[in-house]
Amino acid sequence: MNKIAPGEAATERPVPKAAGDGERVTPMMAQYIEIKTANPGSLLFYRMGDFYELFLEDAEIAARTLGIVLTKRGKHQGEDIPMCGVPVERAEEYLHKLIAAGHRVAVCEQMEPPAEAKKRGPKSVVRRDVIRLVTPGTLTEDALLDARRENVLASLARVKGGTGEEGDGYLYALAFADISTGSFRVAETDGARLAADLARIEPAELLVADAVYEDPELRPLWRDLPAVTPLPKESFDGATAERRIAGFFQVATLDSFGTFARAELAAAGAIVAYIERTQLGARPPLSRPQRESSCDAMVIDPATRANLEILRTTTGERAGSLCAAVDRTVTSAGARLLARRLAAPLTDPRRVADRLDAVECLVDATGLRTQLRERLARAPDLARALSRVALGRAGPRDLAAIGRGLGEGTVIAALIDAASAPDELVTAAAALKGVDPALAATLTAALDDELPLNRRDGGFIRPGYAEELDATRALRDESRRVVAALERRYVEETGVRALKIRHNAVLGYFVEVSQQNADRLREPPFDAIFLHRQTMAGAMRFTSTELAELEAKISSAGERALALEQRLFDELVGAVTGQTEAIRACAEALAVIDVTASLAKLAVDEAQVRPDVHDGLDFRIEGGRHPVVEQALRRDRGASGGPFVANDCDLSPPDGAKGDSGRIWLVTGPNMAGKSTFLRQNALIAILAQAGAFVPARLARIGVVDRLFSRVGAADDLARGRSTFMVEMVETAAILNQATERSLVILDEIGRGTATFDGLSIAWASLEHLHEANRCRGLFATHFHELTALSQRLSRLVNATVKVKEWDGEVIFLHEVVPGAADRSYGIQVAKLAGLPHAVVERARAVLTELEDADRAAPTQRILDDLPLFAALNRAPPPAAPAAKADPVAAAVKAALAGIDPDEMTPREALEALYRLKAAAKGG
């Protein structure tokens, strides 16, 4: 596997010789150690000919991670030198595995050919240097990236001066850039919403100062991130950040960029410094940092994102998520933008309306939508190709991609101009026309139809584009025909029909004959023409003066042709980078159009409607459907699937209650009836609506949701020492502490992870707090049927249940949500469906009958009658109800009840007590 490339000096291989006790280090190993020492924390890809080699500890790590052979050659400090290597042509594949495993790689290239090194002496080492540090957040190659997902490098800055409930005295800011596309944004945040912002951004790598990294309050956040890189505090120096950013963008001042807070500048400065360090002088085409306001997007915490499976399922897969279900994009840039919109739904109704206007236009204009999607499907990923061009990593195919993308953009702009389009599409079309049309024409004229992957291979400039190149190529190609003619002449003159003129990288051109015919070339007069070069096992090789002269001409012509192509390539790169800003704007516009057309197609295919998103507190959904489950049922319809049952949901303030808060629905019903689906679908409808998409419903009127909270399902978090119930309580606490009047909260089975009465008490108090303190819109699903009694005293609490039908001893789930309350959970029927043994099911029925004989409504009624609301602890008590007239029968029943302790009664005693109560109620 580890081979010496042709022309590589033997001293380049790590086989130093020990000389007694005074072991020496070879020049090559000394160079390797020097470069490795200068790049701590990174595996060193050390270029040697056609391989990247790794030595010592790096080799051991790489061999384990990549599953490649580890060898040992020579010695260093008395120990064998471990080594392994990967072919240069497959380096991206191996880099991907190493980065995915959490490693960083320093790529060390040969900066000169071995022949140049030999001029300095026979044992001189080829000059090498690190040209790039590869980290999870600085990838640009398509082979290393997910085309439909952003690859974000983020930095978190913290400066003193903060105030607020968290009381930590700090201000926070995040800067986040994707150097593969050039996007660059900054935003202020705080300790309370930091986790939510990190979950929204999903950084591939997060940069933090050493002190922040070690902060015990923040350490739990790092656990959920793929890569966190601590940096010295100087990287976040706010005093030098502005100068560093200005230098990167080659401007004298940042005044034209807008106003940024100290923490924002520190975070952006750290990003710029890290990019400069890892790219070693290459400058990615980052856009000027755009400031995001903390109130621009709906806040969704990590637990809610995981519960709702917005971008990925709980297993980490894209398939089965909301994003996968609604994605109809035809470009990778469009897919990335759609994911970003779903991750950060807007909170400004005007901006939402602009997006919806564009979608509605393409819903109605079927022909335009079809034409746009056909053209978009032909457009390559402009943004990522542009980034590689700017960083000097582009090949001919990247330039061609930019040319094609710009050409399609021109056609798409013309299609939109010809239609009566809303502002969102008109603005995008204007951006598409911002690039000089001559650039696309030049790239198309210059680049051939069939292109190599790498520029060094040559052959990518179209014939007819450059006269000088055409002439040089003609000479090169004619020389090849001359070689064939010379071979025919040699065959005729010598009479050796098997004589061939061949070529390799070591000998160049040579004459090859079999051993049987070799004597013929050694006889006069041919011995004066042919000079022996090499003896092989079955053949002998010769050269001639004429052949050597011809080789020089061919070599010269080929080298000149390749040099001309390289020069033309650099000219094309210069033309592209000269219009970086316009090309980036064009790429963003194509993504916007793709997302708009995608959402329009989704709306048509899935019978979705335009939502009305406004500033009020309404939340009215008619005929709402779960966008993921509905599609899954449709796919499975041939088996056991069926049509999705649509349901209404109205959490708007009660009729006539101007200025009042929204409702909370208390949803009861049996297991498997669809409560969780109903809860989730309404949350997903809110996300889609505020992201600017049509929604799966007959009607949707939604007052902007500022924060979305979901607690649906939970699992152990053993790494943090949390049980399932503890996880549930932590998530519930976050909701009760942060939800506002404009929030939407969905809670499923609060309190089910502990003892019955503990759980009921927690659920009871939580529901009161949501109603009285948070005053939010919410859906609260529960099996604690006792909670339905709270609707008697909580004015905005509405009971709803999922209908079921019992038939012949079986339960049929109708999945229809209707007003009212369930009195049973049908858990035993579900257990039977799950396959519990018959004996267990029947025993459970008997136990349930015994338990239900004890009247559990009485304790609930006492709480309603005697215990003040949770809110009474913090607010004035509600006005007392008017005194009721004395009722002797009621007094008798109450007296009888006072003497009963249901928990201590046998079934027979309970039955007798029931008869006594009945007699008292009749006045007897």
As a whole number of angstroms, the distance between CA 593 and CA 329 comes to: 10
Q: What is the CATH number of the domain that holds 673?
A: 3.40.50.300
Q: Report which residue type is found at 655.
A: D
Both 384 and 432 in a single domain?
Answer: yes
Q: Report which residue type is found at 227.
A: A
As a whole number of angstroms, the distance between CA 767 and CA 539 comes to: 92
- Cite the DSSP H helix spans in 606-626: none
Q: Is residue 732's pLDDT more than 80?
A: yes
Residue 295: phi, psi to the nearest 5? -100, 10
Q: Is residue 876's pLDDT more than 50?
A: no
pLDDT bucket at 342, cuts 50 / 70 / 90: very high
Residues 38-72 have pLDDT tens digits of 988 899 999 988 899 999 999 999 999 999 889 98
Residues 84-100 have pLDDT tens digits of 999 988 888 899 899 98
What does the block give as tokens for 844?
């459970």
> Which of 354, 324, 341 lies closest to 687 in space, CA to CA?
341
Residue whose pair of structure tokens reads 């004429």 in the numeric block = 546
Both 807 and 697 in a single domain?
Answer: yes
> What pLDDT score does 759 carry?
81
Q: Is residue 270's pLDDT more than 60?
A: yes
As a whole number of angstroms, the distance between CA 507 and CA 422 comes to: 68
Lowest mean pLDDT among 162-166, 542-546, 733-737: 162-166
Q: Is residue 665's pLDDT more than 50?
A: yes
5 belongs to a structural domain? no
Phi-psi region of 118 (alpha: psi -120 to 50; beta: other; left: phi over 0): alpha
SS3 551: helix
Residue 603: phi, psi to the nearest 5? -60, -40
Decide which of 292 and 923 is more confident: 292
Mean pLDDT of the chain: 85
Decide which of 528 and 351 is more confident: 351
308 belongs to a structural domain? no
pLDDT bucket at 839, cuts 50 / 70 / 90: confident
> Which of 284, 621, 582 lies closest to 437 in space, CA to CA?
582
Residues 372-383 have pLDDT tens digits of 999 999 999 999
> What pLDDT score does 602 carry?
97
Choose one of 134, 158, 187: the last residue of a domain. 134
> What pLDDT score does 889 carry?
63
Q: How far apart are the first and last CA of the chain?
A: 101
SS3 391: coil
Both 681 and 704 in a single domain?
Answer: yes
pLDDT bucket at 700, cuts 50 / 70 / 90: very high
Decide which of 696 and 140 is more confident: 696
Choose one of 101, 134, 167: the last residue of a domain. 134
Dihedral angle computed from the Cα positions of residues 45, 48, 50 and 51, in that order, rounded to the nearest 10 degrees: -40
Both 641 and 758 in a single domain?
Answer: yes
> Which of 309, 302, 298 lies closest to 629 in space, CA to CA?
309
Q: What is the mean pLDDT of residues 815-822?
A: 86
> What pLDDT score does 296 carry?
87
638 belongs to a structural domain? yes
Q: Binding site membership for ATP: which residues?
A: 669-676
Choose one of 89, 107, 134: the last residue of a domain. 134
Lowest mean pLDDT among 220-234, 297-311, 708-722, 856-870: 856-870
Residues 389-398 have pLDDT tens digits of 998 888 999 9
234 belongs to a structural domain? yes
> Which of 470, 474, 464, 487 lies closest to 553 in space, CA to CA?
474
Decide which of 558 and 318 is more confident: 318
Both 283 and 432 in a single domain?
Answer: no
Q: What is the CATH number of the domain that holds 548?
A: 1.10.1420.10
Q: What is the mean pLDDT of residues 859-878?
A: 57
Beta-sheet pairing, 500-504 with 508-514: antiparallel
Q: What is the mean pLDDT of residues 210-218?
A: 91
Q: Is residue 625's pLDDT more than 90?
A: yes
What's the total number of domains in the chain? Answer: 6
Both 115 and 186 in a single domain?
Answer: no
Cβ partners under 8 Å of residue 867, min gap 6: none
Q: Report which residue type is found at 923.
A: G
- Residue 69 is part of which domain span? 10-134
Both 801 and 828 in a single domain?
Answer: yes
Q: What is the mean pLDDT of residues 798-819?
A: 82
> What pLDDT score does 865 carry?
64
What does the block give as tokens for 350?
């005007």
> What pLDDT score does 220 carry?
87
540 belongs to a structural domain? yes
- Mapping DSSP onto H, E and C, the string for 876-888 reads CCCCCCCCCCCCH
> Which of 142, 592, 66, 665 lies closest to 372 in space, CA to CA?
592
As a whole number of angstroms, the distance between CA 876 and CA 566 comes to: 81
Residues 101-111 have pLDDT tens digits of 889 999 999 88
> What pLDDT score does 10 carry?
31
Global pTM?
0.81
Question: How many residues make up the chain in this entry?
Answer: 924
Both 805 and 669 in a single domain?
Answer: yes
**Pair 82, 56: CB distance under 8 Å:** yes
Both 669 and 634 in a single domain?
Answer: yes
As a whole number of angstroms, the distance between CA 694 and CA 672 comes to: 28
As a whole number of angstroms, the distance between CA 401 and CA 395 comes to: 10
Both 494 and 621 in a single domain?
Answer: no
250 belongs to a structural domain? yes
Decide which of 915 and 426 is more confident: 426
As a whole number of angstroms, the distance between CA 201 and CA 226 comes to: 12
748 belongs to a structural domain? yes
Q: Is residue 766's pLDDT more than 60?
A: yes
Both 660 and 767 in a single domain?
Answer: yes
**Pair 653, 661: CB distance under 8 Å:** yes
Q: Is residue 508's pLDDT more than 90?
A: no
Q: Binding site membership: which residues?
A: 669-676
* Helical (H) or strand (E) element with 550: helix 545-577
> What pLDDT score does 642 carry?
63
Lowest mean pLDDT among 218-232, 241-255, 446-460, 873-887: 873-887
Q: What is the CATH number of the domain that holds 186?
A: 3.30.420.110
814 belongs to a structural domain? yes
Q: CA distances (Å), 403 to each of 470, 575, 803, in order?
A: 22, 11, 59
> What pLDDT score does 757 carry?
77
Both 534 and 635 in a single domain?
Answer: no
Q: Is residue 638's pLDDT more than 60?
A: no
